[in-house]
Amino acid sequence: MTSSAPSSAPRREELVAAAEKLVPLLRSRALWIDENRRLPQDVIEAIEASGLLKMQVPVEYGGYESDTRAFVDVLAEIAKGNSSAAFVLSIYASLTWMVGLWPDQALEEVFAQPHVRVTGTTAASGTAKRVDGGYLINGSWGFNSGVLHAHYKITAAIPEQPEGAAAPDGPVLPVFALIPIPELEIVDDWNTIGLAGSGSVTTVAKDVFVPDHRVISGADFYQNVANSPVQAAKGAYRVPMLVTATAMQTGQLVGAAKYALSSFLERLPGRPLTYTNYPSQAEAPITHLQIGEAALLIQDAEARAHRFADLLADKIERDEPWTQEERVHSRVQIGWIARQAKQAVEILAGASGGSSIFRDVPITRIQRDVHATSLHALITPGTNIELYGRSLAGLEPNSVYL
Top CATH class of 118-224 equals: mainly beta
Tens digits of residue pLDDT in 88-107: 999 999 999 999 999 999 99
Other CB atoms closer than 10 Å to residue 21's CB: what's the count? 13
Tens digits of residue pLDDT in 205-244: 999 999 999 999 999 998 889 999 999 999 998 899 889 9
CATH number, domain 12-110: 1.10.540.10
Report the pLDDT value the prediction gives residue 338, as an integer from 0 to 100.
98
In 81-212, which residue ranges form alpha helices assigned H by DSSP?
83-98, 104-110
- Report the DSSP beta bridge partners of residue 176: 156, 216
Cβ neighbours of residue 21 under 8 Å, at least 6 residues apart?
50
pLDDT band at 2 (very low <50, low <70, confident <90, very high): very low
Contact 60/66 with Cβ under 8 angstroms?
A: no
106-115, 137-146, 273-282: lowest mean pLDDT where?
273-282
DSSP string, 306-326: HHHHHHHHHHHHHTPPPPHHH
Report the pLDDT value the prediction gives residue 165, as an integer from 0 to 100.
67
How many Å apart are CA 194 and CA 69, to the nearest integer?
26
Helix (H, G, I), strand (E, B) or coil at 123: coil
Find the largest Cα–Cα distance for the chain: 81
How does DSSP classify residue 177? E
How does DSSP classify residue 224? T
pLDDT band at 7 (very low <50, low <70, confident <90, very high): low
Cβ neighbours of residue 33 under 8 Å, at least 6 residues apart?
39, 40, 43, 82, 84, 85, 196, 197
**In 3D, which of 200, 222, 224 has the Cα closest to residue 90?**
200
**In 3D, which of 128, 126, 63, 127 has the Cα closest to residue 92?**
63
Report the pLDDT value the prediction gives residue 23, as an integer from 0 to 100.
98
Residue type, 83: S
Report the pLDDT value the prediction gives residue 172, as an integer from 0 to 100.
83
Tens digits of residue pLDDT in 241-260: 889 999 999 999 999 999 99
Tens digits of residue pLDDT in 120-142: 998 899 999 999 999 999 999 99
Q: What is the dihedral of CA 113, 94, 102, 182, to 10 degrees?
A: -50
Mean of the pLDDT values across residues 265-275?
Answer: 90
DSSP string, 48-64: HHHTGGGTTS-GGGT--
Tens digits of residue pLDDT in 28-51: 999 999 999 999 999 999 999 999
pTM of the entire predicted model: 0.94
Report the pLDDT value the prediction gives residue 261, as an integer from 0 to 100.
98
Report the pLDDT value the prediction gives residue 166, as an integer from 0 to 100.
63
DSSP string, 348-364: HHHTS-GGGGSTTSHHH
Tens digits of residue pLDDT in 319-358: 999 999 999 999 999 999 999 999 999 999 999 999 899 9
Phi, psi (degrees; rounded to nearest 5) at 18: -65, -40
- Residue ranges per domain, the chain? 12-110, 118-224, 239-392
Residue 272 has pLDDT above 60, yes or no: yes
Helix (H, G, I), strand (E, B) or coil at 20: helix
Report the pLDDT value the prediction gives residue 3, as an integer from 0 to 100.
39
- Assign a CATH topology to domain 239-392: Butyryl-CoA Dehydrogenase, subunit A; domain 3 (1.20.140)
